[in-house]
Amino acid sequence: MRKPVAVAVLALALAGCGRPAAPGDASEVATTPPAPSSAAIPSAAPEVPVKLSPQARNALARAKAEGARTVGVTVSTEAGQVERAAAGLRGLGATVESADAGAGYVRATVPVDEVARVPAVEGVRQVDVDEPLSNGDPAP
């Protein structure tokens, strides 16, 4: 078992796969990462933009299909950002129903056409879209 591996390593070395790249060699360009410029290095780690989850997109699509003009959302906020997130939601035409700075969430009713913009509101970490309620008779 060792002999075939040794033969394969020897063959690769003889073929030049194990040699260091010479200056100007095409393989050096392909394997050497570019040196980072000072402009490319942010001072702090970039925030990953929040997107609507597949479940939230499905709930939003269902609300639109049912003709809803607004939809309820529960927004999880960054620490200490409840008021800023609530103000941003109001700027989108949302009605803030409740907010809890201790738990870091805002509950609001948002126009359906503005829900896609909620993740971009400053201070928002996560967005959950409520499932539309059917108006069916709950009687058995």
Q: What is the pLDDT of residues 10-35, one digit of tens each?
A: 555 555 554 555 555 554 444 444 44
Model confidence at 43, pLDDT cuts 50, 70, 90, reads very low
Q: Which is nearest to 109 in space by CA: 98, 120, 122, 121?
A: 98
The 3-state secondary structure of 17-55 reads: CCCCCCCCCHHHHHHCCCCCCCCCCCCCCCCCCCCCCHH
| 76/37: higher pLDDT | 76
CATH number (3.40.367.20, 3.40.50.1970, 3.30.70.2980, 3.40.50.2020) of 54-129 reads 3.30.70.2980
Q: Which is nearest to 76 in space by CA: 116, 44, 112, 107?
A: 107
Model confidence at 111, pLDDT cuts 50, 70, 90, reads very high
- What's the whole-model pTM score? 0.58
Question: Residue 93's pLDDT is what?
Answer: 95
All structural domains of the chain with their residue ranges: 2-31, 54-129
Question: Residue 40's pLDDT is what?
Answer: 42
Model confidence at 56, pLDDT cuts 50, 70, 90, reads confident
Q: Per-residue pLDDT averaged across 121-132, rounded?
A: 86
pLDDT digits (tens, 9 = 90+) for 81-103: 999 999 999 999 999 999 999 99
Say whether pLDDT at 130 is over 80.
Answer: yes
| 61/45: higher pLDDT | 61
